[in-house]
A = this chain, B = another copy of it.
Amino acid sequence: MEIRTHTFTLETEGFTDMHDLTPRINDLRRADGLQEGSVLLFVPGSTAGLTTIEFESGALSDLKAAIDRLAPQDIPYAHDARWGDGNGFSHVRAAMLKPNLEIPVSEGRLMLGTWQQVVLLDFDNGQRNRMVVCQLRGNFAS
């Protein structure tokens, strides 16, 4: 067994901006030849999260609406009162969704469903250059 840690960055817009990470994860898995094991995904920072969803605009906007209900943008936040950041809602959303996700790999394939994609949710209140960690663990072909 072996570990290979990669990172990549992407431009995000904030306010629950969602990005499909599946193609990049698949590329990294293929390039390294991970056959059996898993992929750990992690987003450093406290205003983003990771999950899976069918990546189509309807489901994405439904998820966004549920997150808005969970931690609305237009209520007072103690974080904003103390620091004036204006992104108290972002911190709460990120803590609820959590920054980590792990996908098993078997026979050289991510074991996702056909209509299941890995999604980064950027909850911050502005543009970011967001880093994602993609750690491959297991048995490699090369």
Contacts and interface: CB of A to CB of B under 8 A. Distances in A.
Contact of A52 (B81, B99, B133, B139): B99
A74 interface: no
Interface residues of A, number: 60
Given A62-B88, A81-B58, A88-B62, A45 B113 contact: yes
Contacts of A5: 36, 104, 106
27 contacts: A1-B2, A3-B138, A5-B106, A38-B40, A42-B111, A44-B113, A44-B116, A45-B115, A45-B116, A46-B59, A46-B113, A46-B115, A46-B116, A52-B94, A52-B99, A56-B79, A56-B82, A56-B83, A58-B78, A58-B82, A59-B88, A59-B92, A63-B95, A63-B96, A66-B71, A98-B101, A100-B101
